Chains A and B, each alone.
Chain A
């Protein structure tokens, strides 16, 4: 009888466990943000039409004709919603005057809805002519893309040589990136010569773009297509902010994505109000957009208004990297409704350093992510609901049960034998 009842209880327990197992996985989903309609992405192709593009070393064709054919293919496959523009450099002035030659850049096709025939006709007229003013072309292209809209901006620079004018295009690219227009510059080099490669990879690095060496026509087409298509990827645009030197003057941030600039070994402060029952999550990524020394690090600290450190994370590294990041969590336990939110100061520091020849302004790009999510309950035990697991547990429980059974059994026998049981 007892046995049957226990069995029934056990089965009920098992049934409950099955129910729990079957019903609950559907719960506890993350908050999902509604994907907002993406504004039209803008892409400008910047093509070098300097005299050196005449060289015939790409699959037996001249660089210029390879580029033209690649452009035709790319124009055909450009996604509908992309606003595409074309700018050329060194297309018009064949003379020897450096000053004039270094201003030689013009917009071949304006950034906007694409008319394929018109664009192709414009490309067909090009003939290799002049100088290679990359820096001025980048500045002008940035202006082309800047106007209106908040979509992603991407520039694809196709060239076969380094800048033949004075300005270092790498510095120009970094200045463009610092304008906060979220412009990425991808570079394609048509010949793998050291100087060109260094300059182009530097431009790409400064803006978070990529550098590719192109040796075949098909490769050129594929790469440009890939880069144009990449501009349609949905991306959240960060909000520009400016951290302060101390917590008292720091800007108050809400949940979201922020961008800032921080020079070498600088610390910047931000503030976040954390209501009770919410968990603050902050991540910071500092990118090295120029040549830096081998050892570096990033520090992210959460500090109270009184200067007590709550939580910190730091990350260091050596060698080649695009960014270093750190992240912290700080849960506020649930409290009464009238408990005011706690203001947490966030300190973002870096220990990047650079050789003396490297410009320190503008600062390194900082990306700060702030989220406020429901905070977890403080667990009462290390183990899951205090439950156990493993063969030792089973053995111990069986042993305990056995000993208890023996004891009660002996007591029962003793009672029977002494006639105490009726």
Chain B
């Protein structure tokens, strides 16, 4: 009976230990997707709402934050640049929408055009998209075209000769890759939005590289600063595993040993023998 109770307690304990990493995972998933408050971007964004302008090269890229939709009015053939911060462990998704016309009245007739959304990291290295329609051709007289790029998970450390995505600034470049000469200079409106979800430490690597943001570029950082480099949900997983091991060890030990024999201390003292035969040979 006591054994059974102990076993039940151990199981409960194990279950609690199991729940801890799960909770940690949920917390980690929730943290990065929380939209940070817009950081001051030196007037390029203004203090009221998301930016309504885009830069025209890496140096003038307009800083945006994750979760806000930046818009811009431009002419076909322009190269539009934005820059967004991405932190360790985030899976960043960038979406861009190109709407033809200046927004007032109907869009002028236009031919087919191909649009592309490129993502560059803080070192201006082009980043591949894991999936998503990064390049798309809009049919003649289409209303709009939508582009998506899912980036690889941002890591805290990478070899110097790899171009793995590191935490820091990410440049978004939106442009018409192919456009007929007649359409060059025609107005269009663009909207971009970067969002991210967490990975619960799946790609938590050791080491940490300083955020890849150039001092000469727009200063971008997540709303609540760069995440610390000492935390990863892996702490919870490993601690939870350790607790589970202890619980399993205790339960198995109890099971294998069987019920504890009554301690000698609590036994009634042995009654003195009534008669000791005299030693042999005496």
Footprint of B on A, CB under 8 Å? 2-3, 6-7, 10, 13-14, 17, 20-21, 23-33, 35, 184, 189, 192, 194, 197-198, 200-201, 208-213, 215-216, 218-219, 222-223, 226, 229-230, 232-236, 238, 255-257, 279, 281-285, 287, 311-313, 315, 319-323, 325-331, 367, 369, 371, 373-374, 376-390, 393-394, 396-410, 412-413, 416, 422
B215 x A283 contact (CB < 8 A):
no
Q: Does B56 contact A (CB under 8 A)?
A: yes
Q: How many angstroms from the CA of A373 to the CA of B74 in the assembled complex?
A: 36
A389 x B201 contact (CB < 8 A):
yes
What residue in chain B is nearest A312 (Cβ atoms)?
B161
For residue B47, give the distance in angstroms from its CB to the closest CB of chain A.
15
A409 x B246 contact (CB < 8 A):
no
Chain A contacts for B56, CB-based, 8 A: 184, 208-210, 230
Give me 12 other A-B pairs in contact (C-beta within 8 A), A28-B208, A30-B211, A416-B257 excluded. A25-B227, A189-B185, A198-B181, A210-B77, A234-B44, A235-B60, A256-B216, A287-B57, A380-B206, A383-B204, A383-B234, A405-B250
Q: Does B67 contact A (CB under 8 A)?
A: no
A233 x B252 contact (CB < 8 A):
no
Q: How many angstroms from the CA of A234 to the CA of B62 in the assembled complex?
A: 10
For residue A203, give the distance in angstroms from its CB to the closest CB of chain B.
12
Chain A contacts for B141, CB-based, 8 A: none
Name 22 interchain pairs, CB-CB below 8 A, sorted by A: A7-B13, A20-B230, A21-B231, A30-B219, A30-B221, A210-B75, A213-B186, A233-B60, A236-B59, A282-B123, A320-B175, A325-B58, A374-B210, A380-B206, A388-B241, A399-B248, A401-B246, A405-B251, A405-B253, A408-B249, A408-B257, A409-B257
Given contacts A384-B201, A387-B232, A235 and B59 within 8 Å (CB-CB) = yes
Selected contact of B255 from candidates A238, A393, A394, A409, CB within 8 Å: A409
Q: How many angstroms from the CA of A338 to the CA of B143 in the assembled complex?
A: 65
Q: How many angstroms from the CA of A209 to the CA of B69 in the assembled complex?
A: 25
Chain A contacts for B246, CB-based, 8 A: 6, 10, 401
B206 x A382 contact (CB < 8 A):
yes
Chain B contacts for A283, CB-based, 8 A: 123-125, 214
Given contacts A3-B250, A403-B252, A422 and B186 within 8 Å (CB-CB) = no
B208 x A385 contact (CB < 8 A):
no
What residue in chain B is nearest A189 (Cβ atoms)?
B185
Q: How many angstroms from the CA of A374 to the CA of B211 in the assembled complex?
A: 10
Selected contact of A384 from candidates B13, B126, B219, B234, CB within 8 Å: B234
Chain B contacts for A282, CB-based, 8 A: 123
Interface-located stretch among B14-22, B90-98, B273-281:
B14-22
A-B interface pairs (CB < 8 A), number: 315
B206 x A389 contact (CB < 8 A):
no
Chain A contacts for B187, CB-based, 8 A: 212-213, 219
For residue A251, give the distance in angstroms from its CB to the closest CB of chain B.
18
What residue in chain A is nearest B212 (Cβ atoms)?
A281
B245 x A208 contact (CB < 8 A):
no
Chain B contacts for A386, CB-based, 8 A: 206
Given contacts A28-B229, A208-B57, A393-B241, A401 and B206 within 8 Å (CB-CB) = no
Selected contact of B228 from candidates A26, A32, A403, CB within 8 Å: A26
Q: Does B106 contact A (CB under 8 A)?
A: no
Q: How many angstroms from the CA of A32 to the CA of B209 in the assembled complex?
A: 16
For residue A393, give the distance in angstroms from its CB to the closest CB of chain B.
5
> Which of B125, B211, B242 has the most C-beta atoms of chain A within 10 angstroms of its own C-beta?
B125
B249 x A401 contact (CB < 8 A):
yes
Chain A contacts for B126, CB-based, 8 A: 315, 325
For residue A65, give the distance in angstroms from its CB to the closest CB of chain B.
20
A383 x B205 contact (CB < 8 A):
yes
A384 x B206 contact (CB < 8 A):
yes
For residue A244, give the distance in angstroms from its CB to the closest CB of chain B.
23
| Beta-carbon contacts under 8 Å, B42-74 to A | 42-44, 53, 55-60, 62, 73-74
Q: Does B149 contact A (CB under 8 A)?
A: no
Q: How many angstroms from the CA of A3 to the CA of B14 in the assembled complex?
A: 13
A405 x B249 contact (CB < 8 A):
yes
Chain A contacts for B142, CB-based, 8 A: none
Given contacts A33-B219, A234-B42, A283-B124, A218 and B104 within 8 Å (CB-CB) = yes
Selected contact of B184 from candidates A197, A218, A285, A396, CB within 8 Å: A197
Q: Does B129 contact A (CB under 8 A)?
A: no
A394 x B225 contact (CB < 8 A):
no
For residue B96, give the distance in angstroms from its CB to the closest CB of chain A.
17
For residue A86, give the distance in angstroms from its CB to the closest CB of chain B.
22
For residue B208, give the distance in angstroms from its CB to the closest CB of chain A.
6
Chain A contacts for B20, CB-based, 8 A: 14
Per CB-CB distance, the 10 closest pairs between chain A and chain B, nearest first, are A409-B256, A327-B123, A405-B252, A24-B228, A401-B245, A379-B207, A379-B206, A213-B185, A405-B249, A384-B204
For residue A237, give the distance in angstroms from its CB to the closest CB of chain B.
9
Chain B contacts for A2, CB-based, 8 A: 250
Given contacts A197-B185, A405-B249, A405-B256, A379 and B237 within 8 Å (CB-CB) = no
Q: How many angstroms from the CA of A309 to the CA of B212 in the assembled complex?
A: 23
A398 x B14 contact (CB < 8 A):
yes
For residue A209, give the distance in angstroms from its CB to the closest CB of chain B.
8
Chain A contacts for B78, CB-based, 8 A: 210
What residue in chain A is nearest B247 (Cβ atoms)?
A401
Given contacts A10-B243, A17-B235, A235-B59, A211 and B184 within 8 Å (CB-CB) = yes
Selected contact of A402 from candidates B17, B213, B251, CB within 8 Å: B251
Selected contact of A376 from candidates B21, B62, B209, B228, CB within 8 Å: B209
B124 x A389 contact (CB < 8 A):
no
For residue B18, give the distance in angstroms from its CB to the closest CB of chain A.
7
Chain A contacts for B205, CB-based, 8 A: 379, 382-384
